[in-house]
Amino acid sequence: MRSRRRRADIALLFVLWAASGAGAGAGGEGASATLRLMQEKVIPASNTVFGATAEVPADDAGWREVEQALETLVASVREMADAPGGFAPLPWKDDAAAFARAVLDARRAVAARNVDALESANGALYQSCETCHVVYLPASK
């Protein structure tokens, strides 16, 4: 349980580092748009999804919140792909495919209210995020 919280905290530290300007370089407007998207949508949504295994939703409304967070993540990845400056076709394509598989698994787990399957999907989801960060977020290298 603590490892998921630690993962979210590490992701937040990377975003804050990038926001400080230390990660500035080849990014410009696209990097600013992506940073805003990460802060406003991706981090809150991923915290909801990752947190659902530490604090299991008590009712259908709680599970719907997790489902909505997954939809937010999907929409955010699409928005990042369309941002000015965009992402290189490869490895972004591979990262996006891994992300899509993880989200699909997470959706199935949430629909079944299967916390163990969600935990497994969260591991794959987290890894797909980290793999992308290594390429596109200099602090991860």
What per-residue confidence (pLDDT) applies to 97? 82
- Domains, the chain, with CATH or none: 2-140 (1.20.120)
pLDDT at 121: 96
d(CA 78, CA 76): 5
> What stretch of H or E contains 63?
helix 60-82
From residue 119, how far is each of 35, 69, 70, 78 by CA, in Å? 26, 15, 14, 24
Average pLDDT across each block of 10 residues of the chain; the chain has 141 residues. List them in order: 48 40 45 82 95 96 97 87 64 79 94 97 92 74 51
pTM for the whole thing? 0.73
How buried is 96 (Cβ within 10 angstroms: 0-12 exposed, 13-18 middle, 19+ buried)? middle
Residue-level pLDDT at 22: 35
